[in-house]
Each structure stands twice: as C-alpha cells, then as structure tokens.
Structure 1
Amino acid sequence: MKELTIDYALRATWQAVARMYNEEAKEFETTMAIGFTLLSIDPKTGTPSTALGPKMGMEATSLSRILKSMQVKGLIERKPNPNDGRGVLIHLTEFGLEKRVDSKNVVLIFNEAVKKNVTPEQLKNFFEVTETINKLIADKKVYTKDNNINK
C-alpha cells in the first residue's frame, strides 16, 4: 500500500530531503532548521519575531528554541521594534549573514540538481500538484462528508 499513497510519497521524500540538508548542514556546523530560519529572516530590515513562526509554518515553542540556539551561536540579535514598542525584531549578525549565504547556496545547488534531472514540464506539474494539495488542506476540502470512503 505504501507505494500507492500520496502522503507516503510526500513524507518519504521530505524525510530524505531533510536528512540530506542536515548532513550538508553538519559541514557548516549548523542544522537544517537553523538554515531555514536564516533564510526566513529579512537580511536588511530584520523580521518581527511574531511573524517568523507563521512565515515558517512553525510552532512558537520550536521556533523559540531555534532562536535561542542561534543567539548563543552569534547568528542573530534581538532588537526592539521601532514600530511596536512591545515587539522584537530578529536581525542577522555579520556571522548570521555569512551563514545565510551558505544556506542559500545549499538550497540553490539542490534546486539545480533536481532541474538537471527533470523536465520543465515535470517540474511545472510537481508545483501544480503541491499547490492543489495545499489548497485542498487550506480550504478544508479533504475530510468532508462527501469524501468519506466508508459510505
């Protein structure tokens, strides 16, 4: 059955990608989660801490641990948000900016490797399918009375 389900293909592929990114991240003495966070922070203006979780699709507690680790490693600094006295902006340090470049390069290399091995049409179809899946989930059209297979 595992060969026939869409969720299995998605999960197995994502786990393989995550393992690959984490193995590569070790070369830079970091993790995939930190690399993803570096890429999600605006390198010029910083990013409000409250906007970072939703932007990354991550729970606040998980993000909080990652940000704490990044601060300890000297990758980020927290500054008061001038537009919101209660808010905090997450800014990349010079070291964080360097590591962001490394993270971006790792992602671009992966993208180029995939593009060399699939046709533009296959890639277009892949993005169309993932967009459809995300829309079905967002619109709550997966688990409805009409979709019940036990009718």
Structure 2
Amino acid sequence: MIHEDAARLAAELRACLGPLVRRLRQVHLDGELTLSQTSVLVRLDREGPATPSELAAGEGIRPQSMGTIVAALRERGLVARDPDPHDGRRVVVSLTDAGLEALRGLRREKARRLTRAITEELTPAERGQLAAAIPLLERLSRRV
C-alpha cells in the first residue's frame, strides 16, 4: 500500500514537473537562440570549455551537427574556438562574455515568467505550500 502510494505520487510528480521543465526550456528571447544552441551554452557554463566532440557526446548528437551549432554560436560571438593547450591538433570551445550575458538574459526571462505564473496563479496560501515543498523537491533531486 505504501509503495503503491509512493509510485502514484512519483507518477503525478513526473506528470506535473515534466511539462513545467519543458516549457521553461523552450523559453527563448525573440530572434535569439535555438534550443540546441542554448543547451550548448548552458553546458559550457556549467562544465567549462570542451572540444566539439565532447559537446556532441554530452548532447547526444553527431559531431557534424555540433559543428554547425558551434559555428552559429561563434558567428554571433557567443563562443570562442581556441587551440587545446594540451593538444594543438584539437580545438576547445569556450563561452565568451557575450555568451554568458545571453545566458543571463535567458535565465532572467525564465525567472520573470515563472514569477508571473506564481503570482497570477497561486493564492498566498498556495505560495506558502509551494515554498514548503521546495526543500522536499531538493532532497528528491539529490536522490534520483
């Protein structure tokens, strides 16, 4: 019985959080980055400089596709390609200041939209319930 309740709760949580996360991932500034380009910038911000092959493997795409994404980001000045200091035959892609600023703008927009949704959709009591649930969700995220 307890396991069934936990399984049902897990399914409901996935069904609820999945669309929220997907919608936040889809937020982009008009005329700005594609989802793939954004994902590469986020990865570079989180994990640091990487070779195009490492980026492709991390994103689960072909190296040729990553080459196209990196070229588009480089053309916009959001990433730099430099020789690998340990192996001059390879290049390393890194985030530029402009790329970091683009990510910050995107994060501000996501935060603005989520704040507006919370403000417009939830009563003060519901906002309190949500605030109380956050530590629980953080614990779960570390465990999964």
User: Does the pair score TM above 0.5?
Assistant: yes
Q: Say whether 1:59 aligns with 2:73.
A: no
Distance 1:128-1:99 versus aligned 2 partners, 3 A rule: closer
Greater share of residues in helix: 2
Output one character per residue of 1:43-77: Cα deviation in whole Å (capped at 9) or x when no partner: 8x6323232234x3422344333222212322112
Distance 1:13-1:120 versus aligned 2 partners, 3 A rule: closer
In structure 1, which of residues 100, 108, 127 is the aligned counterpart of residue 141 of structure 2?
Answer: 127
TM-score by length of 1: 0.56
Output one character per residue of 1:82-117: Cα deviation in whole Å (capped at 9) or x when no partner: 11122111122332121122234456x28x869x62
Number of residue-to-residue matches in the alignment:
121
C-alpha distance in 2 between matches for 1:122 and 1:64: 40
* Structure 1, unpaired ranges of 5+: 132-151
Q: Say whether 1:82 aligns with 2:85.
A: yes
SS at match of 1:97: helix
Residue of structure 1 in register with 2:72 after alignment: 69
Amino acid at match of 1:18: R
Residue of structure 2 in register with 1:97 after alignment: 100
C-alpha distance in 2 between matches for 1:122 and 1:72: 43
Kept in 1, the 8 Å contact 2:82–2:92? The answer is yes
Report the RMSD for the aligned CA atoms in angstroms. 3.7
C-alpha distance in 1 between matches for 2:34 and 2:79: 15
Distance 1:63-1:126 versus aligned 2 partners, 3 A rule: farther
Residue of structure 2 in register with 1:145 after alignment: none
Residue of structure 2 in register with 1:139 after alignment: none
Amino acid at match of 2:74: Q
Amino acid at match of 2:100: L
Amino acid at match of 1:58: G
Residue of structure 1 in register with 2:4 after alignment: none
Identical counterparts, % of pairs: 20
TM-score by length of 2: 0.58
